[in-house]
Amino acid sequence: MKSNQELLDSLCCPVTRQPLKALEPHQLALINRQVEQKAVSTADGQAIDRPLEAGYITRDGATIYRVEDGVIVMLPAARLPAAQFTALTA
């Protein structure tokens, strides 16, 4: 049986099939600052109103999947387009 880390390492974006990696602490902090400002929405336009506890980003840095209550939300409509975040890769 695979360990939790092995399972996390095998995650990929359901839209692009790109591998995912955990957000860095500074990236998560930047996203959560914008959540507090009510400036974050999902790919289908739903506003995000609570801070992310964690998240995963695609290899190309274009898409983020949030973690809610310990579960990675991998629904394509619920993904967060990274273009809405200023200086995410800085």
Instruction: Judge whether 90 lies within some domain.
Output: no
Question: pLDDT of 52-68, one tens digit each?
Answer: 999 999 999 999 999 99
Mean pLDDT of 19-25: 94
Mean pLDDT of 18-26: 94
Helix residue spans in 1-90 (DSSP H): 4-9, 25-36
Domain count, the chain: 1
Instruction: Return the closest-CA partner of residue 12 out of 63, 80, 71, 85.
Output: 63
The neighbouring-strand residues paired with 72 are 67
Give yes or no for residue 46 having a pLDDT over 70.
Answer: yes
Give yes or no for residue 35 having a pLDDT over 90.
Answer: yes
Instruction: Judge whether 32 lies within some domain.
Output: yes
The neighbouring-strand residues paired with 58 are 20
Instruction: Judge whether 89 lies within some domain.
Output: no
Domain interval for residue 64: 4-84
Which pLDDT score, from 0 to 100, does residue 43 have? Answer: 95
90's CB contacts (< 8 A; 6+ apart) are none
Instruction: Judge whether 71 lies within some domain.
Output: yes
The two tokens of residue 38 are 């009510």
Instruction: Judge whether 56 lies within some domain.
Output: yes
Instruction: Judge whether 23 lies within some domain.
Output: yes
